[in-house]
Structure 1
Amino acid sequence: MTQGSATPLPAPKERRRLREARALTQAELASRLGVSRSTVRSWETGRTTPRGRKLEAYVRLLGVGTTLSDDAVSGRQEGSVPALVGAGAPPPSRENRATENRRASEDRTADGPEPAEHADRVAVDRDLPGGEGTWGDADQDSAVREPSLTPAQAFDALYAFAAPALVRQTYLLTGRRELARESVERAFQLAWYRWPEVAVDRDPAGWVRATAYEYALSPWHRLRPRHRHPEAPPVGGSERALLDVLLSLPPVYRRTLLLYDGVGLGLPETAAETEASTPAAANRVLHAREAVAARLPELAHPEDLHRRLTELGSAERLRAAKPRTVRDHGEHRARQWTRAAIAFTVLLIGVTALTLRTAPDHYEAPLSPPETIHGLPPRSAPGPLSAEELVLRAKLRSQTSSGPARLVPDIR
């Protein structure tokens, strides 16, 4: 969504003339605004444009008192979420967006890295209710410093900014309302768990968007019982036809088309988020457009496709949970996983100790298996004694030393 700047800003050449008319050098102006000299030079050459409170302070220092029309304002701000947030504005030029991103990256390199103490103020000068500027601005400094936000406040600001549009985008990606809400909540819960990393990211909303898309497109969802049957389609016939065409595309083509023609990202950014090369992303966009145009000829033009995607996303009444609820659920899930990991570790240690206690500590040779011996005569029991054998037994028992082995000869 493209926003017009409420503060008048002259053309790049006029900015330099106004600065010189007020007898200010680039270094003096940069010192008053709290930015580097290279940033002021890029503003005067038209490479970048001040945003937010820097824009107000810059215009005030230049002494601009007349209100310019939007067509005369050369520093119009670009919205970082151009689609599925407002009402159907066409996406900005991809070539201009790529050029601006490259120039902004060069300016940030010249200005030096962002201080670490401003990591949690990532949402102060962004496109939020009561704020001015957009996510992904080239400059992060502000002429008037805002008070530092706590991590929870910064997270809530990011959630309020990105969650409503992200739920609609994920619905277009999956065609399931509950899965769309669940994917966005899981993505923000992971962002809260890894907030030190997300807070200093160049595009926190893009980080959450990529995480939500990955979760929504996971093939494991098809094993869930409630996902074995499709949800109710949209009420309108045109919306239902467009959603059917989107869901018929392969997931990677669907995601690439949504990022490029729906969200309005540039081709390099789309390729980076889908982990593909730029030519591969371009081919996916072309093939996806051809598939959509083959079934819906009225959407052959990219602008018409963008408008219909925006209308389809806005037609569904999708609501995201409160940011505090998402944070609490994320913390609860993290505690549960931590306890489960501790319990599993204790169980593993107990099993290991029991195994060490009961396992043999020396080698015992195994017994050879028994073998059957053939060819032996059968065992026979002794028969009854004869008269002579009875006399002999009585005589032996009557001797002094019992037992035949211990007969002592009688010398008498």
Structure 2
Amino acid sequence: MTRSTTDEAAVPPLPSPKERRRLREAKSLSEEEVAAAVGVTRATVRSWETGRASPRGRKRALYAKLIAPEPAVKPEAVKPEVVKPEVVKPPVVTTEAAAVAAVPAAAHLPEASPLPEAPPAAPPADPPPAPASASASDVRSGAEAPDERRVSPAEAFDELYARTAPGLVRQTYLLTGRRTLARESVERAFELAWQRWPEVAVDRDPAGWVRAAAYEYAMSPWHRLRRTHRHPDAPPTEPGKRALFDALLDLPPAYRRTLLLYDGVGLDLPEIAAETEASTPAAAGRLMTARAAVAERLPELADAAPAEQSALLQDRLGGLARAEHVPVPRPARAVRTGSENKARLWTRAAVAGVALLIAVTGLTLHTAPTHYEQPISPPERVGGVPPRGGPQKLTAQDLKLQKSLSEQLAHGPERLVPRLE
């Protein structure tokens, strides 16, 4: 057995990805602090908490020790006749929370204080779980604590929209260079998410699902046919931001999206490869090519080290997105209403089309003949037929010539006329 296998066997099994994040936030630790303590990047810690990856070896042991829950303090067993309800202190609750928020970067709702335990007239039961904000998947499945407030799908969608829509509009603006198209793309993505909310609610990263849908709509080549989206908006007036803006728009769409996801959003290369439907080496190649093209426009990036270059580029992209006056998206209720109206309109159009097709088919079957009748050809004048052979009827000129020949004698011997004897 190797050393890494022995270390993993000695470390207790890690909790679920959602519980890892809850334990980290319960200890008031940020992703940067955990990454510095374990020796990894912030994106790696995020992938551990979303379930995309799992730590191994020494990092697994450090991570498990860092997020290990505090030992539970059990109350001393007392007799029922001695215990009084007003003097019993509430026990320290360390059980798992019901769920986490649907948005990965969203903060939890404030937890309520644990209720005091009733006098143990019967055998003591397990302490009730501490109430927390329920995710959209738990709301739809019906799993919730007894004292927990039920979160409706509309409330979960509104929370996701409120936390991600403004920043996603700025990201899409950097991707397209068009403010109106950025807002339209984000609203269309959330309308699609509301139509497919049962699928989005159980997704590991709902914000990533919406981001991918918004990027796909924004990068559609069909927008070139629209007059309002043929040309990008006016660049920033500041020289540095204008150079970065022009450098981004000069990149191919796939390279621009890879650069924005890595240095702007903070995703890892495997995550970017999965979102852009490319391999990890291809995503790495696009990233290096995009950085080199941007560094040619920005001299301060060309002289910096790779690590400093990533941090500097991330700051420049954030400053460019915050400096521009990007339109604010519509309220979440308006987006949900618009999505429902569009779905209702398309449903009615589909029903009307099917009804029209059925009516046309029925009319055709009713008016169609039951048997085939051969049509009668119309009469036509036939030309080019040769004249009939044999004696023909004499014309007036022929009769006149015949009469003259019979009355006048021709020059020469007399004509022999047969006689009967």
Give the TM-score range, shorter chain. Answer: 0.5 to 0.7
**8 Å CA contact 1:97, 1:266 repeated in 2:** no
- The separation in 2 between residues aligned to 1:286 and 1:247, in whole angstroms, is 16
Distance verdict in 2 for CA 1:164–1:357, change over 3 Å: same
**8 Å CA contact 1:54, 1:142 repeated in 2:** no
- The separation in 1 between residues aligned to 2:331 and 2:240, in whole angstroms, is 32
2:357 to 337, 348, 357: 348
- Mapping 1:10-409, distance limit 5 Å: 41-42=13-14, 50-52=20-22, 55-56=25-26, 74=34, 92=41, 94=43, 101-103=52-54, 122-123=101-102, 127-128=106-107, 130=109, 146-300=148-302, 301-318=309-326, 319-365=328-374, 372-375=382-385
What letter is aligned with 2:218?
Answer: A
- The separation in 1 between residues aligned to 2:225 and 2:11, in whole angstroms, is 53
- The separation in 1 between residues aligned to 2:152 and 2:11, in whole angstroms, is 28
What letter is aligned with 2:208?
Answer: G
Structure 1 position 174, deviation (Å): 0.5
Aligned equivalent of 1:110? none
Distance verdict in 2 for CA 1:276–1:69, change over 3 Å: closer
**8 Å CA contact 1:163, 1:320 repeated in 2:** yes
Aligned residues between the structures:
307
**8 Å CA contact 1:54, 1:143 repeated in 2:** no
Question: Which sections of structure 1, spanning at least 5 residues, go unmatched?
Answer: 1-37, 60-67, 79-90, 108-117, 384-412
The alignment partner of 1:103 has SS state of coil
What are the Cα deviations for residues 282-307 of structure 1, in whole angstroms up to 9, with x where unaligned?
Answer: 11111111111122232342221111
What letter is aligned with 2:363?
Answer: L
Structure 1 position 356, deviation (Å): 1.9
- Alignment TM-score, normalising by the size of structure 1: 0.63
**8 Å CA contact 2:102, 2:156 repeated in 1:** yes
**8 Å CA contact 2:170, 2:322 repeated in 1:** yes
Sequence identity percentage: 55
Distance verdict in 2 for CA 1:207–1:298, change over 3 Å: same
Structure 1 position 361, deviation (Å): 2.9
What are the Cα deviations for residues 198-220 of structure 1, in whole angstroms up to 9, with x where unaligned?
Answer: 11110000000000001101111
Distance verdict in 2 for CA 1:184–1:131, change over 3 Å: farther
Distance verdict in 2 for CA 1:213–1:145, change over 3 Å: farther
**8 Å CA contact 1:94, 1:267 repeated in 2:** no
**8 Å CA contact 1:53, 1:125 repeated in 2:** no
Structure 1 position 147, deviation (Å): 2.1
- The separation in 2 between residues aligned to 1:50 and 1:285, in whole angstroms, is 30
- The separation in 1 between residues aligned to 2:165 and 2:360, in whole angstroms, is 45
**8 Å CA contact 2:104, 2:205 repeated in 1:** no
Structure 1 position 239, deviation (Å): 1.6
**8 Å CA contact 1:164, 1:320 repeated in 2:** yes
Structure 1 position 122, deviation (Å): 4.4
Aligned equivalent of 1:405? none
The alignment partner of 1:123 has SS state of coil
What letter is aligned with 2:102?
Answer: A
- The separation in 2 between residues aligned to 1:282 and 1:186, in whole angstroms, is 30
Larger Rg: 2
- The separation in 1 between residues aligned to 2:30 and 2:257, in whole angstroms, is 34
The alignment partner of 2:53 has SS state of helix
Deviates more, 1:344-353 or 1:279-288: 344-353
- The separation in 2 between residues aligned to 1:94 and 1:69, in whole angstroms, is 15
What letter is aligned with 1:374?
Answer: G
Structure 1 position 375, deviation (Å): 2.9
**8 Å CA contact 1:128, 1:161 repeated in 2:** no
Distance verdict in 2 for CA 1:223–1:161, change over 3 Å: same
Aligned equivalent of 1:112? none
What letter is aligned with 1:149?
Answer: V
Higher relative contact order, structure no. (Cα contacts within 8 Å, ≥ 6 residues apart): 1
Distance verdict in 2 for CA 1:362–1:267, change over 3 Å: same
Structure 1 position 334, deviation (Å): 1.2
- Alignment TM-score, normalising by the size of structure 2: 0.62
Question: Which sections of structure 2, spanning at least 5 residues, go unmatched?
Answer: 1-9, 64-97, 112-131, 303-308, 389-394, 396-421
What are the Cα deviations for residues 84-111 of structure 1, in whole angstroms up to 9, with x where unaligned?
Answer: xxxxxxx94555655664118999xxxx
